[in-house]
Structure 1
C-alpha cells in the first residue's frame, strides 16, 4: 500500500471534533457517524494498564481515548500526514506511542503482546486477512480481543476502494485494496 494515497486522504479529511455531543474531549467511535455505536467495552479490557494496539490509527482519536483511560496504546499508521496531526493533538499523552509503519511489517517485527488489537476503518479493512490475521493472533495475549469496523462495500466495487481517496495524475489508482 502506498503512503502517498493516505497522506492525500489525511490532507482532505476534516479533523476530529474538539468535543463530542456529551462534551467529552476524548471518546471511542467505531462508526462513521458522530456519537454513534458502542464504546471501548467491545474490547473487553481490564480496568487500565493493559497494552492495546491500534492498526491504522489515523489522527489518533480512538487511541488517545484509551490512553486517557490508563491503557498503554501503540498507534500504527502508514500516513506521515495523519500521524503529524495525531502527534500535534495527542502527543502530550504519556501512554500513547505513535509509529509510521505498515501494519504487517510492525506485527512481524515486534515482540510485544497486547490485550486487545483494534482497527477502525484501518488495516483490517485494507490488508489481506490471510496475511494479517495470523500476525494479529501471534501478538494477542490468550483471551485477547480483536475488534474492528469497516464501511460496507461500494456497490459493484469489490476489491479496490480507490474511490474514497483523491489522487494526483502520477499516483496508482489501485493502491487501496479491501
Structure 2
C-alpha cells in the first residue's frame, strides 16, 4: 500500500491546479471528461440537493465542491495525503463538504449504507479490481442510490490489471461498456447505462461514462405454516 500511495503522491505533484473560472465564467463545475469545458454536467447523476455524496479519488476536490454548492452533503476521499491538503485549502470554506485521506476499499467497507451517490471520475474504479471494488460500492449505497464513474474507453486489446504508466505501482482495469455492465449487474446494480462521449474537435479519444443504481433487495416473507 505504501508503494501505491507514493505513486499517487508523485502523480499529484505533477498535476496543474484547475482554473479558477471555466469558459462560462463559473467558479465551480463538474467535468466528467479529460477535456476542459466538454461533456455532460451533473444532470448525469440525477437529484443532487440534500443527497449524501461520496467521491472516490476526489483529488483537489473541484468536482465535489460544485455538488456541494448545489446542496449535496459531500465527502471526498483520496489516497494521496497532499490532495486532501490542497482540497481543504481551496474548498474548506464550503458548508457540507469534507475531505479525508483514505484508501477506497477500506473506507467503503467501514461505511455501509451511508451514501445516496458514489462517484469516481478517472478515479479508483479504473485502478482497483472491480470484483473487489464494486460489491463494496454497492454496500455503501442506500437502495436505489446512484453510482456514476468515468474514464477513458478501453484500448483495442485491453489488459485488465496492466500497470499504469503515469503512476507506477498502480494497475488499471480497462473494460468495455458491455463488460462493465455485466460486472455491475453481478454486483447487484440495476438500471445500468453506458455511453462513450465523443471527444472535442481535434482530439481522438472519447470518455466512457457509466451510471448504475443500487438494486433494491426484496426480503422474502417466511413460508406460512399449515
CA distance, structure 2, for counterparts of residue 91 and residue 9 of structure 1: 23
CA distance in 2, matches of 1:4, 1:156: 29
Structure 1 residue 22 displacement after superposition:
0.4
Gaps of 5+ in 1: 166-172
Superposed CA offset, 1:99-131 (max 9, x none):
100010000112452111110000111111111
1:58 aligned to 2:59? yes
Count of paired positions: 170
**2:90 aligned partner:** 89
Matched, 1:36 2:38: yes
Is residue 177 from structure 1 mapped to residue 172 from structure 2 by the alignment?
A: yes
Normalising by structure 2, report the TM-score: 0.71
3-state SS of the aligned residue for 1:115? strand
Cα root mean square deviation, aligned: 1.7
> Which deviations, in whole Å up to 9, do the C-alpha atoms of 1:26-69 show, x marking residues without a partner?
000000000111111111125x1110110110111111000111
Q: Determine the C-alpha separation between the residues in 1 that align with 2:34 and 2:110.
A: 31
Q: What does 1:146-165 correspond to in 2, within 5 Å?
A: 146-153=147-154, 158=159, 159-165=161-167
Q: Which has the larger radius of gyration?
A: 2
Give TM-score scaled by structure 1 length.
Answer: 0.89
Choose between structure 1 and 2: higher helix proportion: 1
Q: Quote the Cα distance in structure 1 between the aligned partners of 2:151 and 2:101.
A: 21
Q: Distance in 2 between matches of 1:19 and 1:56?
A: 22
Aligned residue for 2:139, secondary structure, equals helix
2:7 and 2:156 map into 1 onto residues whose CA distance is 22
Structure with the higher fraction of residues in strand conformation = 2
Displacement of 1:156: 6.1
The gaps in structure 2 that reach 5 residues or longer are 174-226
CA contact (8 A) 2:7 2:169 kept: no
Corresponding residue number in structure 2 for 1:17 = 19
**CA 1:7–1:144 in structure 2 vs 1: closer, same or farther (change >3 Å)?**
same
